[in-house]
Amino acid sequence: MVKKPKLFLDMDNTLVDTLPILTAATEQAIEMGLEKPDQIPDIFRHLKPLPGALNGIKTLSKYYDLYILSTAPWFNASSWSNKMEWLNEYFGNDAQSPFYKHVIMTHDKGLARAEGGILIDDRPYHGAAKWDDASSGTAWIQYDYNKQMNWTADNGLMQLLIQTAQIYQVQSLSEREALIKASQAMNLSFHGSLEHFEKANWE
């Protein structure tokens, strides 16, 4: 059996359309006496998948061992269970799910780099940018930082990931080395400048 490369996925704003809902709930959070909208109970439960995300995961499961690597607001206990419920709703909760017992919740995503792999995350925070690390053989793809790095782009993210997996299996490179080789062949960069990243006004 051919060994698959490892691909870790953030949830919010990578698989789940989160930011517009939270931004729209800013006033509601203030009325409830909360500091941020991500502290509203159960606000994470009924969010919608990003366009193309479900089909993207179905395709990538053929090429990668998939893992969820996500954070949840510390002061919103429901957010942790909401994220599991969301995954169960859209991907199932049995061995047929690409994420069955492959879910990691942490406040420092850098801690999950021990065995290599690629992380897709829209933001550099909570340790995501630490994955851009040659010494550990890991890489960080910044979701949607440009028009090619999203699920529905032509000749973009999906093609980059498939080509990376194929190079990994044929040439016996690390996930990072395979990604770099694929990105060079496609003339793509896989994350933007950290100096100019802008947060939402409530973050």
Q: pLDDT (tens digit, 9 = 90+) per residue, 165-182? A: 999 999 989 999 999 999
Band (74; pLDDT cuts 50, 70, 90): very high
Looking at CATH, the fold of the domain delimited by 6-138 is given as Rossmann fold (3.40.50)
CA atoms of 183 and 160, how far apart (whole Å): 7
**Cα Dmax for the chain:** 57
Write down the mean pLDDT value for the chain. 94
Q: Identify the band that residue 198 occupies on the pLDDT scale cut at 50, 70 and 90.
A: confident
| Average pLDDT of span 98-105 | 97
Is 12 a known active-site residue?
Answer: yes
The one catalytic residue in 12, 38, 121, 122 is 12
Predicted local confidence at residue 113, as pLDDT: 86
Residue 196: is its pLDDT beyond 80? no
DSSP bridge pairs for 8: 67, 119
Q: Which residues pair with 139 in a beta bridge?
A: 118
For residue 94, indicate whether it is catalytic: no
Of residues 86 and 107, which shows the higher confidence score? 86
Half-sphere exposure of 36 (CA within 13 A, CB side): 13
pLDDT for the residue 179: 97
pLDDT of residue 132: 94
User: Which burial class, exposed, middle or buried, applies to 155 when counting CB atoms under 10 A from its CB (0-12, 13-18, 19+)?
Assistant: exposed
Helix ranges (H only) for 61-198 are: 77-91, 157-171, 175-186
Torsion of CA 136, 192, 178, 101, to 10 degrees: 60
Residues 23-52, mean pLDDT to the nearest whole number: 96
CA distances from residue 17 to 11, 14, 21, 43 in whole angstroms, order as listed: 9, 8, 8, 12
What is the per-residue pLDDT for 1?
A: 65
Distance CA 136, CA 126 (A): 18
Selecting among 10, 121, 122, 132, the annotated active-site residue is 10
The DSSP symbol for 191 reads -
Domain-wise residue ranges, the chain? 6-138
